[in-house]
Structure 1
Amino acid sequence: MTEATETKNLDRSGLATMPWSRARDLLATQTPHENLTFFVGTVRPDGRPHAAGVGAIWVDDTLYFVSGPGTRRARNLAANPACTVSVRLRGLDVTMEGEARRVTDAATLERVAAVYGEGGWPATVMDEGFTAPFMAPTAGPAPWHLYRLALHHAIGVATAEPYGASRWDFTR
């Protein structure tokens, strides 16, 4: 289970520190069944930022997302795996920071494809990636790459009670 090794209260109004379990549990219960849009931020080779919406899911305590191999996001991650992933969950906005690495092992691809299928995207494994009857129009042709986010930090800002703002650090 992904556990924070350190938690810092970012709330300046005296509210309590939020536990990482709040964000983790929302990720586990809201993906892939709710219509969430995740945004991945990467860095271009010249240092300029790039952000794009992706379909992401939380599987077995890990965040995964898909990208077409020719997309700006995939090219940026190939050169520099550092990225952010942000999402508005029910009652909590979360930004995760870490490194995204491509996943090619068959067992993980099959497991994640099955969970995507539970959410309505009928992905199947093809050539160390995914194929499906439909994908984002900007993704290019299949196979699409799967990425795993290795968490370094996350920040949560509550938009519902109990309110608060916290930063969670994870062992690298």
Structure 2
Amino acid sequence: MTDFNEPISTRNLDQYGHAELPWSRPRDILAGETASADLTFFVSTVRPDGRPHSAGVGAVWVDDALYFKGGPGTRRSRNLALNPACSVSVRLPGIDLVLNGEAHRVTDSATLERVAAVYRTGGWPVSVEGDALTAPFTAPSAGPAPWHLYRLTLHDAVGVAGAEPHGATRWDFANG
């Protein structure tokens, strides 16, 4: 698994003289709060005709990677099957974040179990069934169960801090 603890390059995008933001700021929030905080992530994918598609999803940060779900019949899952390029946006406490990369379906049982356990700590009673997730309920945007699990391979990220210390930064990762 790729280690996203540190980016390979960082670029300060702030025009007001603030220092560049450390990647640890959004990463630590993702690692500590995605399972329990009321965060809404938006996944943007590309339709076969090139038009964008966005949908709110429940996502969790597990072992330095972002995971999200989608039913096989959802526009998101159909788009990712053809083109894994996507962006994930979220407003974290004190910093807005956009993660860009590729999302690929996860089917190995060990990872499915590990991510399901994290979802359960946040109150969603999910379980693994075959190579997918299932539960008695989910958000309407996920489609009916079972749900595919996707892992975002991070290429780059942009953060804009709305709380001290302010700033705007782009982080590039080895997968970009």
Question: How big is the shift at 1:23?
Answer: 1.0
* TM-score normalized by the length of structure 1: 0.98
* TM-score normalized by the length of structure 2: 0.96
* Separation in structure 1 between the aligned mates of residue 174 and residue 167 of structure 2, nearest angstrom: 23
* Separation in structure 2 between the aligned mates of residue 126 and residue 141 of structure 1, nearest angstrom: 14
Q: Which runs of 5+ in 2 are unaligned?
A: none
SS of match in other structure, 2:90: strand
Asked whether the 8 Å contact 1:30–1:89 carries over to 2, the reply is no
Aligned with 1:40 (options 32, 43, 46): 43
Question: How big is the shift at 1:42?
Answer: 0.3
Partner of 1:137: 140
SS of match in other structure, 2:50: coil
What is the aligned residue count?
172
Cα RMSD (Å) of the superposition? Answer: 0.8
- Summarize deviations over 1:73-114 as a string: whole Å, max 9, x none: 000000000000000000000000000000000000000000
Alignment of 1:43-54 (within 5 A): 43-54=46-57
Partner of 2:89: 86
Q: Which runs of 5+ in 1 are unaligned?
A: none
Asked whether the 8 Å contact 1:43–1:50 carries over to 2, the reply is yes
- Summarize deviations over 1:44-89 as a string: whole Å, max 9, x none: 0000000000000000110000001100000000000000000000
Q: After TM superposition, where is structure 1 displaced by more than 3 Å over at least 4 residues in a row? A: none
SS of match in other structure, 2:150: strand
Indicate the larger mover: 130-139 or 112-121: 130-139
Aligned with 1:19 (options 22, 26, 31): 22
Asked whether the 8 Å contact 1:70–1:139 carries over to 2, the reply is no
Partner of 1:97: 100
